[in-house]
Structure 1
Amino acid sequence: MFMSWVQMLLFVSLLFPAWVESEIRHYNFTVVLKNTTRLCSTKPIVTVNGKFPGPTLYAREDDNVLVNVVNHVKHNVTIHWHGVRQLRTGWYDGPAYITQCPIQPGQNYLYNFTFTGQRGTLLWHAHISWLRSTMHGAIVILPKKGVPYPFPKPDKQKIIILGEWWKADTEAVVNEAIQTGLAPNVSDAHTINGYSGPVSICSSEGAYTLHVENSKTYLLRVINAALNDELFFKIAGHDLTVVEVDAAYVRPFKTDTLFLGPGQTTTALLTSDRGIGKYLIAISPFMDTVVAVDTLTGMGYLRYNNTHPLIPTTMTNIPPVNATSLTSVFYESLRSLNSKEYPAKVPLTVDHSLLFTIGVGINPCATCLNGSRAVAAINNVTFDMPTTAILEAHYYGINGVFTDDFPGKPLIPFDYTGTTTPLNLQTMNGSRVYRLAYNSTVELVIQGNSILAPESHPTHLHGFNFFAVGRGLGNYNPEKDRKKFNLVDPVERNTISVPTAGWTAIRFKADNPGVWFFHCHLEVHTTWGLKMAFLVENGEGPNESLPPPPSDLPQC
């Protein structure tokens, strides 16, 4: 009896597990419900392989990865490989109804992609509704064999995943918010590798412990998998040396506090030079406006070997929730290596100069509890999620799924960060994309607005890394602010925060054909419509074109 090629890959993966050096890495992700106890309550959660957080995906730069995802829950699911370039593999990017229809209950899909020119820390997560609250995990991309890190080689590596926890089912939380038109309930706790540590609502809650040996160097791969909170990360009595963010090396710098928005990763070196003792690990939220957030501090411990169990914990100062200056210092410290081995290929010429205003507002809603509904928009367009995947509609020329008339600038300019808003500023709905020619260069200024309340927005671009060339407060002034852009060694990222009542400028080259989602990575804002997509046309020949869809692509 002959085996199919999928069966053959499964057979090979049994002979050669994923941790063995190879050109093809095969993983099986089974989506199942698992009963778990957190915050003194028990509830079933949606997990991958019964783990929370989910399994870590290990590979090396330029490895090909195949992940067979099998859905055994009642929800439709997808997996997004956050930050993976997906060069000509857009069918496997994962956002529901953008690049694929979701995997329905009882169905499976084989994701097939390559880590082209990437090394470092990323994450994977569900990309439909709010399932990523419990469906997430780490991606570790090691350098090629024989290629050293551009920093001192660590003795050990540790993965630290930051998250949020709701006592209630998060699908029920978001569905109730959609029906009422109100903001959803904030989370009940912040977590470190799935545990909150002792908190006021459950003093017996377990805590993550990082065990270390004295005089060792640890590479900490820190991931913010939270749904709606930007987070500070601190270890009492220890500094951290940042060496990489979003799978891109940076010029090393020392800090006692990391700052990560949802979807961002930061890799840092920790030197265990304090002898013996137990030290608090703390994660706490950032919000410098009047928007409600979960204010509980997630706690864990760094513990040196041979430390007596009764020794007191060394504490640390938690940053204020509105520590804006701390976030600014962290962002301004990030610089690309811009070396011969890792050059910063910043586009110096621009084909598309775009201005996207982003923010939240209130629209009338006859069926909602208060007669109104919270909405979010880019350039006053609230995105309507289609019922057919946009990438499939683009490839097959299916009409009526999307339009390619997304505005490249606000249709009605106004004082974006001021206190007055034009009365005729009406939010429009639509499934709109912005079309880009292959290899064209883009400068995108993301401008926060104050229509309802100014807020920091971590924004994520699928399919590309970009360079963060500038940021500032107030309204962007092209004549003045562009002169200050860093076009030499700006940090390279896939997710960037737009400061409250301010702006961020990024540049990228549209060298990846397909349809690529762009959205706020605060899940509440994505739910409200703060999202759009870029459509990158094919170039010349098959190496610059989107290949046909796989035969097992899920159907709507």
Structure 2
Amino acid sequence: MTSRGVPVVPAVAAATAIIFFVLTAGQPTATAAIVEHTFIVSQVNMTRSCKETLVTVVNGQLPGPAIEVTEGNSLSVHVVNKSPYNITIHWHGVKQRLSCWADGVPMITQCPIRPNHNFTYRFDVAGQEGTLLWHAHVGCFRATLHGALIIRPRHGASSYPFPKPHMEIPMILGEWWDMDLAQLDRNMVDGDFLDNPTAMTINGQLGGPFDCSGIVKDGFVLDVETGMTYLLRLINAALFTEFYLKIAGHKFTVVASDANYVNPYTTDTIAIAPGETTDVLVVADAPPGKYYMVAVALQTPKPDQQLPFFMTSGTVQYRSHNNGTRGHHNVAPVVPDLPDQHDTMTTYYFHGNMTSLRHPRRPQVPVHADEHFFVTLSDGSICRHGHPSCKRSGSNESILVAAMNNVSFQLPV
């Protein structure tokens, strides 16, 4: 197996370009558009929390470029690895029917893309609608190598099983790490979980309230107009953190999760775990002004290991009816009443309210199961090199492993 794939398209066609053309091969009675992207993986210096950090990103962006396809399209992504690390890209949640080779899991479905090599992912995006994400699947690099993957219905927004929104906005929640992510991965393998992110982000921004000069900084700003409905495509790209998200003075109507429509329900708090996506409608029906959008990091209560308190914020800001510009510049934003960071019941009830919406173009879920499986998941550590005994808990003599039904995976040498 080799990491060198189909040659990359010329630079003039590349980085964020999307090329549509009719695919005539295959079924002569059907047509499918091909959506084509080029991802340049490289390292750039970015400043967050008043410190410059070398980070690995796609096309110089954090988050990386959003990919938008229509259900039934084919996707072709040329990945050019200009970083010093092995890289693969995983298309999180894509079912990969008849294209498991494109799933992007290193040493399982493909060899990693080595530095100064390239690889082309090609697969169909069929039978799914909604929001997913793409991210790196090597080490901890998904903390900075990630972006939205939006699958639109083939009959347009008018076929949404909910009121058509006036605007759609991808919102990616994440973690910012000052440290080298390759070292973070090595620490985790050795069982060292003492490292913590520096801050939390919304669409790559820390959210203030002040920048390094002490000037008030808004962070991510969502401009809205009174009476309009907005579809927020929420994505949690964090390594470890589950978030609670609230917007002061507003409610959410949950309409989809992980590219599956759900029966709509209304809540004032979103719970979203790492790798999860949630589509919500927000109506701009509050008195005109500025409102904080706040994400707080959830963690389990003691005696589990406790992390520092993390939160990040953005601003929902109503535009003026007169000239379309932002108004209320001198008005302090309204702050939401947030759940406690140890309140695990809120996420329990949030996810318990999700029920699948019957899709007219999908088969019904079978009522009776033919086979039953009992699956156990566990974490632990084993001695290196097959030794019968060793020191644990951060010792170089042991390695951290996860197991399914008491079977774990070891990377090939």
What TM-score comes out, normalization by structure 1 length?
A: 0.64
Distance 2:359 2:81 in 1: 44
Distance 1:334 1:67 in 2: 33
Distance 1:20 1:297 in 2: 40
- State the Cα deviation string for residues 120-164 of structure 1 (Å, max 9, x = none): 000000001011010000001110035611110011000100000
* 3-state SS in 1 of match to 2:375: strand
1:310 aligned to 2:324? no
Matches within 5 A, 1:2-81: 18=18, 23-81=33-91
1:85 aligned to 2:83? no
* 3-state SS in 2 of match to 1:355: coil
Distance 2:319 2:171 in 1: 19
Matches within 5 A, 1:102-501: 102-146=112-156, 148-179=159-190, 181-198=191-208, 207-289=219-301, 290-306=304-320, 307-346=327-366, 348-360=368-380, 365-366=390-391, 369=395, 374-387=400-413
CA spacing shift, 1:346–1:228, aligned 2, 3 Å: farther
Conservation of the 8 A alpha-carbon contact between 1:65 and 1:114: yes
Distance 1:182 1:283 in 2: 26
Q: Structure 2: which amino acid aligns with 1:376? A: A
Q: Structure 1: which amino acid aligns with 2:378? A: I
Distance 1:122 1:19 in 2: 21
Listed as ranges, the gaps of 5+ residues in structure 1 are: 388-556
* 3-state SS in 1 of match to 2:300: coil
Structure with the bigger RCO (C-alpha within 8 Å, sep 6+) is 1
Q: Structure 1: which amino acid aligns with 2:341? A: V
CA spacing shift, 1:237–1:176, aligned 2, 3 Å: same
Conservation of the 8 A alpha-carbon contact between 1:229 and 1:293: no
Distance 1:36 1:96 in 2: 27
Distance 2:17 2:252 in 1: 33
- State the Cα deviation string for residues 159-197 of structure 1 (Å, max 9, x = none): 100000111122222224445x42240212111001121
Conservation of the 8 A alpha-carbon contact between 1:120 and 1:141: yes
Aligned to 2:324: none
* 3-state SS in 1 of match to 2:374: strand
CA spacing shift, 1:212–1:258, aligned 2, 3 Å: same
Conservation of the 8 A alpha-carbon contact between 2:381 and 2:398: no
* 3-state SS in 2 of match to 1:175: helix
Aligned to 1:424: none
CA spacing shift, 1:206–1:261, aligned 2, 3 Å: same
Q: Structure 1: which amino acid aligns with 2:106? A: A
- State the Cα deviation string for residues 486-526 of structure 1 (Å, max 9, x = none): xxxxxxxxxxxxxxxxxxxxxxxxxxxxxxxxxxxxxxxxx
Q: Structure 1: which amino acid aligns with 2:258? A: D
Shift of 1:43: 1.2
* 3-state SS in 1 of match to 2:373: strand
Shift of 1:295: 2.1
Shift of 1:17: 5.0
* 3-state SS in 1 of match to 2:246: strand
Shift of 1:377: 2.8
Shift of 1:318: 1.6
* 3-state SS in 2 of match to 1:174: helix
Q: Structure 1: which amino acid aligns with 2:344? A: T
Distance 1:20 1:323 in 2: 47
Conservation of the 8 A alpha-carbon contact between 1:18 and 1:58: no
Conservation of the 8 A alpha-carbon contact between 2:8 and 2:80: no
- State the Cα deviation string for residues 448-495 of structure 1 (Å, max 9, x = none): xxxxxxxxxxxxxxxxxxxxxxxxxxxxxxxxxxxxxxxxxxxxxxxx
Q: Structure 1: which amino acid aligns with 2:328? A: H
Distance 2:182 2:347 in 1: 31
Conservation of the 8 A alpha-carbon contact between 2:188 and 2:400: no
- State the Cα deviation string for residues 282-335 of structure 1 (Å, max 9, x = none): 111222232333421111111111322111110011211121221121111101
User: In the comparison of the two structures, how many residue pairs are matched?
Assistant: 381
Distance 2:35 2:237 in 1: 24
* 3-state SS in 2 of match to 1:314: coil
* 3-state SS in 2 of match to 1:353: coil
Q: Percent identity?
A: 38
Aligned to 1:496: none
CA spacing shift, 1:237–1:72, aligned 2, 3 Å: same
Q: Structure 2: which amino acid aligns with 1:349? A: A
Listed as ranges, the gaps of 5+ residues in structure 2 are: 23-32, 321-326, 384-388
Q: Structure 1: which amino acid aligns with 2:373? A: S
Distance 1:206 1:275 in 2: 20
CA spacing shift, 1:19–1:295, aligned 2, 3 Å: farther
Q: Structure 1: which amino acid aligns with 2:409? A: F
Distance 1:370 1:13 in 2: 48
- After superposition, the CA RMSD in angstroms is 2.8
* 3-state SS in 2 of match to 1:302: strand
Distance 1:175 1:91 in 2: 27
* 3-state SS in 2 of match to 1:313: coil
Conservation of the 8 A alpha-carbon contact between 1:336 and 1:344: no
Q: Structure 2: which amino acid aligns with 1:321? A: Q
CA spacing shift, 1:380–1:347, aligned 2, 3 Å: same
Q: Structure 1: which amino acid aligns with 2:255? A: V
Distance 2:331 2:348 in 1: 36
Conservation of the 8 A alpha-carbon contact between 2:88 and 2:106: yes
CA spacing shift, 1:324–1:347, aligned 2, 3 Å: same
Shift of 1:211: 1.1
Distance 2:225 2:117 in 1: 45
What TM-score comes out, normalization by structure 2 length?
A: 0.85
Aligned to 1:475: none
